[in-house]
Structure 1
Amino acid sequence: MRTEIRHITDYQYSEPAWDSHNEVRLYPEAGKRQITRSFHLHVNPEASITMHRDYFGSTVHHVHVHEHHTELRIEAQALVDTLPLQEPAPVPLSALDELRDEVNEFLVSSPRVPRGKWPEIFSVKVPAANDNLTAFLRDLTSQLHHQFTYQPGATSVSSTLSDFAQSGRGVCQDYTHAMLGICRTIGIPARYVSGYLYSGGEMVGADATHAWLEVLVPGNGWIGYDPTNDCLASEKHIKIGHGRDYSDVSPVRGTYYGGGNHPRMSVEVRVYT
């Protein structure tokens, strides 16, 4: 599938801002299932832009606006080809025993996915060593999808995983953090994925950057699961990058001087074929 992506982030300040430094993670990842054909980053007002790859391999653009400004627009445009995903082959949970030391960073707690009794909190039955790992992951994806209600605005970036468990309402980041916490507690390596979703009106989460997770499945590699939409991450999912949780792959973040109180930010995402 070939998709075109347009991602616009607008900031408006009540007073002039200056010396604005921003980290931008919007460049779609290149991998076995995905090819980035083109990418353009446009910034207004004029900015100096440099680029590097972070610890997890994501492309990061550093955008520095020197001059005084009351508006800042960061617009990313990309053309990406994605390939369909085959269903992962069955494998017992015990097959992970020899792999865990290699991916320990995706087993331990992280700022937004702290250590906790997450299987118990989310009423998940812990699988036995001989149980089918792929079947467990598919069932868990479905359970979380039906257990909670997708509701934009129900949570914010400051909401905790415990808040989501108690309220029963949230967005894709919350579903993903919940499944991460459950998997890591059981000893299943899992990582947070930030990206885009082409839904064609069939799925939720396509009106902004989307989140899902990838789980290390022995013999299959890292497989994506989307509990928000109760599905595997397939050719409709366009990956930007991964990390331990949302904090590692937030699309745009930065600092600036001035700007007054409470600057306004708006985000527009379009994904089309």
Structure 2
Amino acid sequence: MRCEIRHTTEYRYPVPAWDSFNQVRLHPSQEARQSVRSFHLHVAPEAEITSRKDYFGAIVHHVHVHEPHTHLVIEAQAIVDTHALPLPPPTPVSALRAERRRNTEFLVASPRVPAGDWPEIFGVTRPGQTDDLPDFMMDLTTYLYRRFTYDTRATGVRTPLAEFAQHGRGVCQDFTHAMLGITRQLGIPARYVSGYLYSGGEMKGAEATHAWVEVLIPDYGWLGYDPTNNCMAQEKHVKIGHGREYSDISPVRGTYYGGGKGELDVAVHVYGEQ
């Protein structure tokens, strides 16, 4: 599937800001399930732009605007081809024993996914060692989809996981953090994925960057599950990068001097073609 993506971030300030610096993680990743045909980053006013790869391998652009400005636009445009991949064979949960030591960073607690009895809090039955891991993960995806309500007004980027567990309403970020809390307490290495979703109108979370979970399946690799939409992450999902949680792969964040209290607008458009 070919996806064309346009992601526009606009800042407006009541008085001039200067020395604005932003970290931008919007470049889709290049991997087996997707090929990046093109990527362009446009910034107005003129900016100094450099790039590097972060600890987890995502491309990060550093955008530095020196001159005074009351309006800043950062627009990323990409064309990505996504590819169907074979699904893993049946894999028992016990096969994870050999993988845990090599993937500790995706098992330990983090600020937005703290330690806790998340399987019990969310009412999830722990799998047996002979249970099929891919089947268990799809069942968990369906369970979270049915248990929680997608509501863009219910939470923000700083809403604690415990609060989402209590109220049961939130966005893809919350669904993903909940799934990470559960899987990590079960000893299943899992990571937070940021990206885009081509919905065609029938899926939730396409109005901004989307989030889902990738789980390590032994002798296969990382496999994506989207609890917000009760599906696996396949050709309609375009990955930017991954980390332990949202803060490792947040799309755009930065600082500036002056400017007063700024306003932020974000628009994401994903066009797909089979």
Shorter-chain TM-score range: over 0.9
* Cα distance in 1, alignment partners of residues 235 and 88 from structure 2: 15
Written as runs of structure 1 = structure 2, the 5 A alignment for 1:189-228 is 189-228=189-228
TM-score normalised by structure 1 residue count: 0.99
Residue in 1 aligned with 2:177? 177
What per-residue deviation string (whole Å, max 9, x for no partner) do you get for residues 171-191 of structure 1? 000000000000000000000
What per-residue deviation string (whole Å, max 9, x for no partner) do you get for residues 71-108 of structure 1? 10000000000001333221111100011111100000
Q: Structure 1 counterpart of 2:6, which letter?
A: R
* Cα distance in 2, alignment partners of residues 54 and 69 from structure 1: 29
Residue in 1 aligned with 2:28? 28
Structure 1: which 4+ aligned runs deviate by more than 4 Å?
none
Written as runs of structure 1 = structure 2, the 5 A alignment for 1:69-148 is 69-148=69-148
In the alignment, structure 1 residue 264 sits paired with structure 2 residue 263: yes
* Cα distance in 1, alignment partners of residues 197 and 92 from structure 2: 30
User: How many residues are paired up?
Assistant: 272
In the alignment, structure 1 residue 243 sits paired with structure 2 residue 254: no
Q: Structure 1 counterpart of 2:103, which letter?
A: V
**Secondary structure, in 3 states, of the residue corresponding to 2:125?**
coil
**Percent sequence identity over matched residues?**
65
Shift of 1:5: 0.2
Residue in 1 aligned with 2:167? 167
TM-score normalised by structure 2 residue count: 0.98
**Secondary structure, in 3 states, of the residue corresponding to 1:41?**
strand
Q: Structure 2 counterpart of 1:228, which letter?
A: T
What per-residue deviation string (whole Å, max 9, x for no partner) do you get for residues 173-222 of structure 1? 00000000000000000000000000111111111000001000112210
* Cα distance in 2, alignment partners of residues 246 and 85 from structure 1: 26
Shift of 1:158: 1.3
- Over the aligned positions, Cα root-mean-square deviation in angstroms equals 0.7
Q: Structure 1 counterpart of 2:36, which letter?
A: T
Q: Structure 1 counterpart of 2:215, which letter?
A: V
Residue in 1 aligned with 2:40? 40
Shift of 1:129: 1.2
Written as runs of structure 1 = structure 2, the 5 A alignment for 1:33-72 is 33-72=33-72
* Cα distance in 2, alignment partners of residues 89 and 207 from structure 1: 34
* Cα distance in 2, alignment partners of residues 153 and 48 from structure 1: 35
Shift of 1:46: 0.4
Long gaps (5+) in structure 1: none
**Secondary structure, in 3 states, of the residue corresponding to 2:98?**
coil
Shift of 1:111: 1.1
**Secondary structure, in 3 states, of the residue corresponding to 1:115?**
coil
Residue in 2 aligned with 1:6? 6
What per-residue deviation string (whole Å, max 9, x for no partner) do you get for residues 57-83 of structure 1? 000000000000001000000000000
Q: Structure 2 counterpart of 1:57, which letter?
A: G
**Secondary structure, in 3 states, of the residue corresponding to 1:187?**
coil
Residue in 2 aligned with 1:187? 187
* Cα distance in 2, alignment partners of residues 16 and 167 from structure 1: 40
What per-residue deviation string (whole Å, max 9, x for no partner) do you get for residues 1-44 of structure 1? 01100000000011110000100000000001110000000000
* Cα distance in 1, alignment partners of residues 57 and 159 from structure 2: 27
Q: Structure 1 counterpart of 2:91, which letter?
A: V
